[in-house]
Amino acid sequence: MRYAIANWKMNVPPEGIDKYVEACAAAEPAAAELIIAPPFPFIAELRSFAGDRRIGVSAQNCSDQISGAFTGEVAAAMIRRAGAESVIIGHSERRKIYGESNKTIGAKLVRATEVGLLPVFCIGEELEIRESGGTDQLLERQIGEALEIASGAGEMVVAYEPVWAIGTGRVASTEIVAETHARIREILRRSGQPEAPIVYGGSVTPENARELARQPEVAGFLVGGASLSSAKMLQIRDALAV
Ligand code: PEP
C-alpha cells in the first residue's frame, strides 16, 4: 500500500473543506491511498463529507494518556470515535515546539494502536546532525527508544522527515532519500517493525514527487504546504502510481 498524507497543520485550505473534499472524491481512484489530516475539530466534518468515498482521515497528534485530568489533550479513543482511522505521531513540530521525547512518542504509538488507529510515526534529523554525520545514530535512537515502549504495537507507517526539509522548500535529494530509507528499513527490521511502509516528507511538490516516488523504499509522502491545495495534493498522490 502507498500513502499520500495531507498534513494541514493548523490551517484550513483556502478553497474550503467541502470544495477540497469534493475535488478529491471526484478524482479517479489511484494506486495510493489519500489521507487527510485536518486540525481536530474538522475530523468528524471531514469524515462525514468524505462518506464512504475512498478518502482516509487522520489526526495530527494524540495524547500519551488514556483519559483523565489532562486539560487540552485529546485521547486516541476520542479521535477514533470522531471518525479518523490514523494519527500522525512525533511530527518534528511536536518534538521541537512541544518537547515530545522518544518515550512519549512510544506511549502515543501504544495509545493509537490499542484503539485501532494506524500511527504515522515521524522521525528525522536536524541539519546540524546530518552535517556532522550523526543521522544514522539519531534515527536509531528515535526508532529504538519509541519502539522499545511500543514493542507490542501493531501495524504502523513510518514517515522519514528530515527537519531541514520541512517547510523550507529544500527537498532532500533522491540519493539522500534512497540511502536513508534503506537505513531506516534495516533499523525497523531489528526493531520489530520489519514491514512498516516508509513515506517521505519534506517540501514535496507536484514537481519533485515523481522522481522521489521512484526511489526504493518510498511508500508514499507526508505533505505539509502543498497539501493545502487539493489540485497539488492529487498530483502528488498520482505521482505514486509509478
Ligand atoms: C510536514 O509538515 O510534515 C511537511 C512535510 O511539510 P512540508 O511539505 O511543507 O515541507
Residue whose C-alpha is closest to residue 76's, from 49, 114, 112 = 112
Can you tell me which atom of ligand 1 is nearest the CA of 161?
A: 5
Nearest CA to ligand 1 atom 7: 224
First and final CA of the chain: distance in angstroms?
A: 13
Which cell goes with 146? 519509541
Distances (CA, A) of 237 to 130, 205, 223, 234: 28, 10, 10, 5
Nearest CA to ligand 1 atom 3: 224
Is the CB–ligand 1 distance for residue 184 below 6 Å? Answer: no
Can you tell me which atom of ligand 1 is nearest the CA of 93?
A: 2
Is the CB–ligand 1 distance for residue 46 below 6 Å? Answer: no
Each residue's pLDDT tens digit in the chain (242 positions)? 899 999 999 999 999 999 999 999 988 878 899 999 999 999 999 999 887 678 999 999 999 999 999 999 999 999 999 999 999 999 999 999 999 999 999 999 999 999 999 999 999 999 999 999 999 999 999 999 999 999 988 999 999 999 999 999 999 999 999 999 999 999 999 999 999 999 999 999 999 999 999 999 999 999 999 999 999 999 999 999 97
Residues noted as catalytic = 91, 161
